[in-house]
Structure 1
Amino acid sequence: MRIDRLRLVWSLVSFPLFFAFGLFLPAGTWNWERGWFFVFAVVALGTISVGYLWRVNPELVAARINSHQGTKPWDKILFVFILITFLVIFPVAALDDGRFHWLPVPEWVCALGYGLLVLGVVLITRAQAVNKFFEPTVRIQADRGQRVIDTGPYAIVRHPGYVSCLPLSAGVALSLGSIWALIPAGSFCLVMALRTLWEDQTLRAELAGYEEYTRRVRYRWLPGCGSWRVVFGARRRCRVHIRLFSRTS
């Protein structure tokens, strides 16, 4: 599979621009040590991850850079919220630790954040290494001969890549020294939880062999966890139950 060079160039250019405007502009200074350390750490982790994937699963690297047709309409909308909730983590952390120092944290909190960040990168890289269909959006990849992947971490849970959003988002917030940034990080995880549920339903309905796979691998995110329900109260007392970690039959 050929790589869309224009999209590749844009990805490389937008990366430093994002850090400039997403971190140091809100921080109000270029002299933010935790911000710079974070940038170098992310560049290093990203280089190692992409380099490893390029060696073991080059088709996936190309697939994630290129654009594709067939993304589910609901995911086009949800993807916007995924981007917003994740990207907001950075300016909130910059405003907190880099500028206003709303809730200063000791260095061990940042160290914990980097531990979570590394864990998240390892989890998502491992999932991507064995799954060449790990595209950024939800679609049935008939053009690429999509099939059920049940090896590696997929033999334990059905969406191991999404599991990484928990340590990744929390790791970003804490490594930048911000407790307040855990709020958008938590929002990001909730949106990813909803996406997991809807993607799982899509795969069960449209991907051959996935229904049988759900009987062998019972959990979506974490094995052994009970039901996670998000309940929204309203005048009509409507309830939306998101059974994320539930055991499915």
Structure 2
Amino acid sequence: MSRRTAITYAIGLPLALLVLIFLPAGTIAWRPGWVLLFVLILAFGASGLVLAWVNPVIYRARSRIQPGTKSWDKSLLAFILPAMTAVLPVAALDAGRFHWSQVPAWWVPGGYIAVLAGIAVTGWAQAVNPFFEPGVRIQAERHQRVIDSGPYRFVRHPGYIAALFLFIGMALALGSFWALVPAALASALLVLRTAWEDRLLRSELAGYDDYARRVRWRLVPGLW
């Protein structure tokens, strides 16, 4: 990633989070929004610094949807990304402005635990997997191989279970049950994407079928 691109991300993403949280809330003084914003920036910033040290190639891999990404995956992303993005503004409308739902106070720390767990597992997966891209494809030009270290020893798609934690955790951290609706939609589509991607890898990536026999679970050990 060029310095200009890195600076753009460093400035643009926090600004986007500000708009997504505080514009729907109707006030810049909404304390839960500031707490979540601080946690997200701190946690993703720390994860980004670690990745820049241990696996800097991941920034080029994840910079955009790469050529060769499956058309079905582009169609899924057209629904997953808006649903994922909607979690924050829906939560802000609910908990910050209209108070449609009342989340018990003790659920909020659980939301933050889920958010931090999601960021940590995603960072761990990206640290050991140089082929971690935003789109589903076989990366023949990069000589893609099976990764079976780190969290991939336990489940075949740790980045996806981490995303589910993040979606649900953000909704609860902001104190909104209504935000669980887009979180659930994004999660359901991500589970579908997991199944389709797994089927592609088993048929087209050398060694993946053997790996799938060793590591039986896609997302949740003992369940699926």
TM-score bucket of the superposed structures, by smaller chain:
over 0.9
Seq. identity, %: 49
Q: What residue in structure 1 maps to residue 52 of structure 2? A: 54
Question: Unpaired segments of 5 or more residues in structure 2?
Answer: none
Question: Unpaired segments of 5 or more residues in structure 1?
Answer: 226-244
Do the aligned partners of 2:157 and 2:219 also contact (CA within 8 Å) in 1? yes
Do the aligned partners of 1:4 and 1:66 also contact (CA within 8 Å) in 2? no
CA distance in 2, matches of 1:72, 1:6: 29
Q: Which portions of structure 1, spanning 4 or more consecutive aligned residues, are displaced by more than 4 angstroms? A: 4-7
CA distance in 2, matches of 1:109, 1:150: 34
**What are the equivalent positions in structure 2 for 1:162-201 lying under 5 Å apart?**
162-201=160-199
Deviation of residue 177 (structure 1)?
1.1
**What are the equivalent positions in structure 2 for 1:65-80 lying under 5 Å apart?**
65-66=63-64, 68-80=66-78
Deviation of residue 29 (structure 1)?
0.8
109, 121, 135: which one pairs with 1:123? 121
CA distance in 2, matches of 1:104, 1:150: 42
CA distance in 1, matches of 2:39, 2:188: 26
CA distance in 2, matches of 1:106, 1:223: 29
Residues 91-116 of structure 1: CA deviation (Å, up to 9, x unaligned): 11000111001123343222111111
Deviation of residue 144 (structure 1)?
1.2
Find out whether 1:221 has 2:224 as its counterpart.
Answer: no
Do the aligned partners of 1:8 and 1:65 also contact (CA within 8 Å) in 2? no
Deviation of residue 68 (structure 1)?
2.3
Q: What residue in structure 2 maps to residue 140 of structure 1? A: 138
Deviation of residue 188 (structure 1)?
1.0
Find out whether 1:45 has 2:62 as its counterpart.
Answer: no
Q: What residue in structure 1 maps to residue 89 of structure 2? A: 91
Highest relative contact order (Cα 8 Å, sep 6+), 1 or 2?
Answer: 2
Aligned letter for 1:140?
I
Distance 1:193 1:185, change over 3 A: same
Distance 1:67 1:8, change over 3 A: farther
**Helix, strand or coil: the match of 2:96?**
helix
CA distance in 2, matches of 1:153, 1:167: 15
Deviation of residue 83 (structure 1)?
0.4
CA distance in 1, matches of 2:152, 2:179: 30
Do the aligned partners of 2:65 and 2:135 also contact (CA within 8 Å) in 1? no
CA distance in 1, matches of 2:50, 2:89: 30
**Helix, strand or coil: the match of 1:60?**
helix
Do the aligned partners of 2:65 and 2:134 also contact (CA within 8 Å) in 1? no
**Helix, strand or coil: the match of 1:65?**
coil
**What are the equivalent positions in structure 2 for 1:198-213 lying under 5 Å apart?**
198-213=196-211
CA distance in 1, matches of 2:185, 2:202: 26
Deviation of residue 179 (structure 1)?
1.3
Aligned letter for 2:188?
L
Deviation of residue 176 (structure 1)?
0.8
**Helix, strand or coil: the match of 1:164?**
helix
Distance 1:218 1:106, change over 3 A: closer
Residues 137-196 of structure 1: CA deviation (Å, up to 9, x unaligned): 111111211100111211221111111122211110011111111111111110100110
Q: Which moved more, 1:59-68 or 1:90-99?
A: 59-68
Q: Which has the larger radius of gyration?
A: 1
Deviation of residue 67 (structure 1)?
5.1
Higher helix share: 2
Do the aligned partners of 1:159 and 1:220 also contact (CA within 8 Å) in 2? yes
Q: What residue in structure 1 maps to residue 18 of structure 2? A: 20
